[in-house]
Amino acid sequence: MVKPVNKEEKINLLVAVTGASGSVYAQRFLERLQHLQHQTERIAVVFSGSGKQVWRYELNQEPDSLPWTMYDNHDFFTPPASGSGYFNTMVIIPCTMGTLASIAQGIADDLIARAADVMLKERKRLVLVTREMPLNLIHIRNMERVTLAGGIVCPASPSFYSMPENITEVVDTVVTRALQLAGFSFPTYGWGEPEAKP
């Protein structure tokens, strides 16, 4: 059972960006984090090699100018690599099926997979924003394994009941859910509630 984030406890968040298409989800997630920093104690970011490549290709910008601590994906001498580290929440956005497979099988051969492994073994919060379609049986079984181990699989499946008017608002329907699953609180649109954009 995953420990819920105590409302009095600040979120210590590690954001991982892997090489699935959908860098815009990570970009928007990180943009919105800047307005939620009062709910955090610290934020750090780690990119996979392909995560950086896809970010550059899809967004036409460098991923190295973010305002938070950046960890090298091959550096195991960093706090996220150990259960004694201070991170209590991890979001992988977007999450490739390869990263999902490594986590599901316990193959911690880079910092992202190792940090996710730490989240699971320490019963901390792990959210995987997967971005793939269609799914094969291996993907589905890996999602099952991660879910049974305590992770949260949050497919990047946009919703439309908030009547999004542009691409950013469509992206935000996924990003909003990921932020909520990570333990953040903020006003947003809810089904059956007064209209409010996410």
Tell me the per-residue pLDDT of 88-127, one tens digit each, with 9 for 90 and over. Answer: 999 999 999 999 999 999 999 999 999 999 999 999 999 9
Q: Read off the tokens for 22.
A: 């959908």
Q: Are 40 and 13 in contact (CB under 8 A)?
A: yes
Q: pLDDT tens, 117-161?
A: 999 999 999 999 999 999 999 999 999 999 999 999 999 999 998
| CA triple 147-93-51, angle to 5 deg | 125
Per-residue pLDDT band at 8 (split at 50, 70, 90): low
Top-level class of domain 11-181: alpha beta
Q: How far apart, in whole angstroms, are the C-alpha atoms of residue 108 and residue 28?
A: 27
In this prediction, residue 66 carries a pLDDT of 86
| 179, pLDDT greater than 90 | yes
Q: Where are the domains of the chain?
A: 11-181
| 198, pLDDT greater than 50 | no
In this prediction, residue 190 carries a pLDDT of 77
Q: pLDDT tens, 59-85?
A: 999 987 789 999 999 999 999 999 999
Q: Are 43 and 124 in contact (CB under 8 A)?
A: no
Mean pLDDT, all residues of the chain: 93
